[in-house]
A = this chain, B = another copy of it.
Amino acid sequence: MPKFFVAASNIFGGVAYIEGKDAEHLRVLRLRRGEKLIVCDGEGNDYECRLTAVGPGSAEAEVVRVIPSRSEPDVSAQVYAAFPKGDKAETIVQKSVELGASRIVFFRSERCVSRPDAAAIVKKLERWNKISEEAAKQCGRASIPEVGIELSFESMLAHASQTQLGLFFWEEERQRSLKKTLEAAGDGIVSASIVTGPEGGFEKREAEAAERAGLIPVTLGGRILRCETAPLCALTALMYHTNNLE
């Protein structure tokens, strides 16, 4: 069934009101009255609906039943990635959404080669959030992960340390693996932050600051992963560990 995102405030009294470009898309798909579709409220709820009215700029669909979403993980995974070069940020956003991240945040770190100014960041944020929305629709997520930025390394640490597990991936960490760390956390991990560095890795003093802020320095093993591969690898492992790849 085709899937549409609608603001939660547009679903009430057993009816979903579809407007704007989504209503347009519905016409492109040539959906007619009586046909079924899935409406997501972007907050984790999926509704099976039946079209009751199709107009030029709006449509109405009766809610048939609420569908338990198979696509939303039960762990809130926040990806904090240092600004990478080129279009790698887009890769990180798209794949993180597919793999189940609840939020993606970029931040500046000492060895970042990419240092976008404020105007460039505003433009990039717009584009990254659009990529997140497209990826969420494509992979069937029931919510659209927000893409944001942190203005400083310190504010990133302050936020990343607020989740149950703050995982700071550092290539100079040799002992503490992700698996040992997740196993030590026990069952029922509800939230985790995945913090990964830029092309050149983190500075030692950044790793020390992360540890002081309560994050755990973690290794992903002996292969040196690219800066866009590391967050996806860590996120996949977290989803696998918490039974969110099934």
Chain A interface residues (CB < 8 Å from chain B): 69-71, 94-95, 98-100, 138-141, 177-180, 219-226, 229, 232-233, 236-237, 239-241, 243-246
Contact = CB atoms under 8 A, between A and B. Distances in A.
Contacts of A233: 99, 236, 245
Contacts of A141: 223
Contacts of A222: 69-71, 140
Given A179-B240, A232-B232, A246-B219, A225 B70 contact: no
A84 to B, nearest CB: 14
A27 to B, nearest CB: 24
Contact of A71 (B98, B223, B245): B223
Nearest to A70: B222
How many chain copies does the complex carry?
Answer: 2
B98 A223 contact: yes
A180 B245 CA distance: 11
A85 to B, nearest CB: 14
Contacts of A236: 232-233, 236-237, 240
Contacts of A71: 221-223
A113 to B, nearest CB: 16
Contacts of A138: 224, 226
Nearest to A175: B246
A95 B100 CA distance: 19
Contact of A95 (B221, B229, B237, B245): B229
A196 to B, nearest CB: 13
Nearest to A228: B95
A178 B224 CA distance: 25
